[in-house]
Structure 1
Amino acid sequence: MEENIAIKQKTYIILGSFLVAAFIIGIAGALQAPTLSRYLAEDVKVNPYQVGLFYSINAIAGIVVSFLLAQYSDNKGIRRNIILFCCLMGIGNCITFALSRQYLILVTVGIFFSALTSAAMPQIFASAREYTDQTGRNVVVFNGILRAQLSLAWVIGPPLSFALAVNYGFTVMYLSAAAMFFVALLIVFLFFPAIRRPATVKKQHEQKEKIFSNRNVLLLFIASISMGTANMMYLIDMPLYINSILPGSPSLPGHLMGIAAAIEIPAMLIASMLVPRFGNKNLICFAVICGIIFYIGIIYTQNERMLIALQLFNGLFIGIVASIGLIYFQDLLPGRPGVASTLFNNCMSCSVILAGMLQGAITANFDHHVIYEIALAMISVSFVFCLLIGKSPRIKVRS
């Protein structure tokens, strides 16, 4: 009996460590991302084109390195050790940005560290999945709770990021992020299980289906990239735009991101519960309509209260798309959840690359309003593509 109690306590501690580590690493990321464009523009003093180029190179490097580390971890790597390595790289990344203001160093050494750091969160999700499978826990429920930690981190992180950057400077802000990675490293080292797995065996009979021969998948893929690109253009440009129209509110961008993230959490949970009643397509279309309203509002208002109020539509847009987008891909590719998940993640990565290139080129030649006009056009195009998606094949609801 005592042995069983001890095992249960150990299990709860490990599961709790997954949640805490995900939250802290999420905070570290949410400290850095919101102020990056302002940091590059104000402290590094680069032009808008270089800001966009930095985001694109960073995204490409992250895709390549995360894929390579994922391949290694699936074959023979112990995920706990990989996560520890990623946390160390996160500390190196933050220190580089805290101490250097040379664009060439940041776009090489900084991005190298950043790319290696980016694999931390996927590896935490994979490790948590392995552990919950081994211990017989409800994988779906725990995965949902784990994902909620990231949204919660983005409620707290952006306002804290701007508060630190505005009041104490970017050096203190990046050193604070480094401290977060160090705390996460300790949690992983002390509590994460070292799960050894046999090398992945490839299934010889697995058929290589051409994904994009599925018309619905292709439509959703294009729509997702269009929505993601619009959102990333907003995230990259918004701190600079707010600084130009409301220079007396330096912390406002962080508050806007935090409010949107706070709305996203209930939006995700409620949207997931409404799928059986309204269907993926209707919910996605509703989300896109919210996105259209949001970008129209951004174009035509420069009032602080209105910008805050518009975050309701932004939060609904992002929350529903983030929650339902992956489910929608999985429904359109029944029996291939791994391929569907990868496809959804690739949409987001492609969006970052496109947004970085577009934002830099547009801002260098036009004013900020053009960014949001193009984003509105992209959201409108995605709405048309979503309407063209046919019915999903019927699948059994998984418990």
Structure 2
Amino acid sequence: MLWGIQASFLSPALALILVDLFDATTAEVGWVLAAYNASGFVFSLLIPALADRRRDYLGPMLLCGVLTCLLAGALSIVTTIPLAAIALIVLAGPAGVGSSLLYAHLRATGARPADVVNTRAIFSVAWIAGPPLATFIMGSFGTRAILVAIAAVAILGMATTAAMMRGKHGGTAASGPKTEAEPGEAVGKLGIVLIVLAFVLLQAGNFTGMSIMAVYVTETLHIDIIWAGIALGVAAALEVPALLIIGRIGERVSPLVLIATSCLAGIAYYAGVAFATGPVALIALQILNAWAFAGIAGVGLTLFQQLIPRPGLSTGIFQNTRRIGAIVAGPVIAIGAMTALEQRGIFVACAIITAVALVVIALAARASGRRAPR
């Protein structure tokens, strides 16, 4: 919960922090966020990989908390956008790896996939409450106040991590001997590449739909912008029970089958939004959106941990499918808007790339079926 609150405080408020505290232009905000995300991409591979070698994930988590406090202090002290950018690249990039390390620690200590999914559901709960609370803090006490709040949450997270370190018995790797083949062994390297590709496409579709929603609601549906916030809030709220359901059935149903159902839900959601005419349909369709993203976030996380035997690296690669998907979202928006359907074409494009992801998942499943008898 603390890691989720910390992320939900910083991510939505970062652009506003740059504008209010450092007088950044829109272009400068874009370049700084690009550099910050590039740093996060690198560190989300490097730090977990080093943690894998030491089989210690709690120590680096503690370090991520320290870096978060240093980041809040640095952004409070510096006065220019270049210095703020350096702070984000050097401090925020590695600090953001903390939640990945938590999931890696769960996997390394023998947690069941259901436990990991349930933990991801708690992270989602934090994101429901975090952004509204962050805006309240900034509106009531000023933009700098959110930096104090981020540091305070980070300190609480460090205290929790330290308690976990004290309570650890017999090392971090507590998983027993395997009694059956891991999915990664059956799928093979080609299957892993296909699944990574599929998740980049799924993340791109989700990121595109989320990013364009406010514009779509006002310019295409011609309804108040508040409906965009309501729609995304409903989806986030429904995501929690969806994750809990997936956690319960995930041990009885193949993860590739669950991902396939999420793809089908995503295709139906994007197609529905593309031809929606009012707020009622938009809100009702969020049921499909919640199931689609719960599959990406919940099943995807545990699937990557099973495919790649190194818990830190596997979680880092999964997190980076989101970053790459965000990059792909730009061309999806541009190309979709240039069609005869205009902005509706963006959601049609999302449905198409989700359908392509479903085909790729099916190819990965076939690879698994061919290798299983061996």
TM-score, scaled to structure 1:
0.68
Name the aligned partner's letter for residue 353 of structure 2: M
Q: CA deviation at 1:213?
A: 6.4
3-state SS, counterpart of residue 227 of structure 1: helix
1:359 aligns with 2:334: no
Name the aligned partner's letter for residue 119 of structure 1: V
Partner of 1:382: 357
Indicate conservation of the 8 Å contact 2:40/2:96, yes or no.
yes
What are the within-5 Å matches in structure 2 for residues 207-222 of structure 1? Answer: 214-222=189-197
Q: CA deviation at 1:100?
A: 6.7
Name the aligned partner's letter for residue 353 of structure 1: I
What are the within-5 Å matches in structure 2 for residues 74-223 of structure 1? Answer: 74-76=52-54, 79-95=57-73, 103-127=81-105, 142-164=115-137, 170-189=143-162, 192-193=165-166, 214-223=189-198
Q: 1:44 aligns with which of 2, 20, 24?
A: 24
CA RMSD of aligned residues (A): 4.5
3-state SS, counterpart of residue 44 of structure 1: coil
What are the within-5 Å matches in structure 2 for residues 284-299 of structure 1? Answer: 284-299=259-274
1:61 aligns with 2:33: no
Partner of 2:284: 309
* Total equivalences in the alignment: 353
Segments of structure 1 that go 5 or more residues without pairing to the other structure are 1-22, 201-208
Task: Give the whole-Å Cα distance in 2 for the aligned partners of 1:114 and 1:30.
Answer: 14
Name the aligned partner's letter for residue 90 of structure 2: F
Segments of structure 2 that go 5 or more residues without pairing to the other structure are 174-183
Q: CA deviation at 1:180?
A: 1.6
Task: Give the whole-Å Cα distance in 1 for the aligned partners of 2:283 and 2:79.
Answer: 32
Identity %: 21
Partner of 2:320: 349
Indicate conservation of the 8 Å contact 1:232/1:355, yes or no.
yes
Indicate conservation of the 8 Å contact 2:44/2:317, yes or no.
no
Partner of 1:264: 239
Partner of 1:20: none
Task: Spell out, residue by residue over 1:170-192, the C-alpha distance to the aligned partner (whole angstroms, 9 max, x if none).
Answer: 44444433322132233334564
Task: Give the whole-Å Cα distance in 2 for the aligned partners of 1:371 and 1:120.
Answer: 33
Task: Spell out, residue by residue over 1:280-300, the C-alpha distance to the aligned partner (whole angstroms, 9 max, x if none).
Answer: 444322211221232234444
Closer, same or farther in 2 for the Cα pair 1:365/1:380, shift >3 Å? closer
Q: CA deviation at 1:312?
A: 1.4
Closer, same or farther in 2 for the Cα pair 1:278/1:297, shift >3 Å? same
TM-score, scaled to structure 2:
0.72
Partner of 1:24: 2
Q: 2:300 aligns with which of 300, 325, 330?
A: 325
Task: Give the whole-Å Cα distance in 1 for the aligned partners of 2:142 and 2:277.
Answer: 26
Indicate conservation of the 8 Å contact 2:49/2:313, yes or no.
no
Task: Spell out, residue by residue over 1:197-219, the C-alpha distance to the aligned partner (whole angstroms, 9 max, x if none).
Answer: 99x9xxxxxxxx99996443333
